[in-house]
Amino acid sequence: MPDDLVSVRYIVDDVEAAIAFYTTHLGFQLRSSAAPAFADVVRGRLRLLLSGPESSGGRTLPDGRQPEPGGWNRIHLIVDDIDAEIDRLRGEGLTSFRSEVVRGPGGAQVVLDDPAGNPIELFQPRDR
């Protein structure tokens, strides 16, 4: 495996749906698949590990806690035009945005959930 990839693990409830979401809508390429347990997709230097309930990353912990999707930690994807990107994604049928665009001193952002509820931040820096 190349050392220049940064890996992030997302717990998902449906590996095939996650593969389709990331490759169809967000420009990731499938790297490998052991669905329904696991797959990994790549965009640039980001390797996203998609771990289903049957994967080692999705199994119940010794104390009984169950890994689950969601939360607020997220991958951060830079876009050139956030409004155009949102229009494109909505045109593809995606509606799982957590809010409208939030604009601040550094740029504009919106958080989109994948099919399992994991967040993806789309961010347009102020200088774009």
pLDDT digits (tens, 9 = 90+) for 67-126: 889 888 899 999 999 999 999 999 999 999 999 999 998 999 999 999 999 999 999 999
* Secondary structure of residue 104 in the 3-state scheme: strand
Which domains are seen in the chain, by residue range? 6-57+69-125 (3.10.180.10)
Residue 62: the pLDDT is 86
* Residue bearing tokens 């909505």: 90
Strands 107-113, 119-125: parallel, antiparallel or unpaired by DSSP?
Answer: antiparallel
pTM of the model: 0.87
CB 128 within 8 A of CB 81: yes
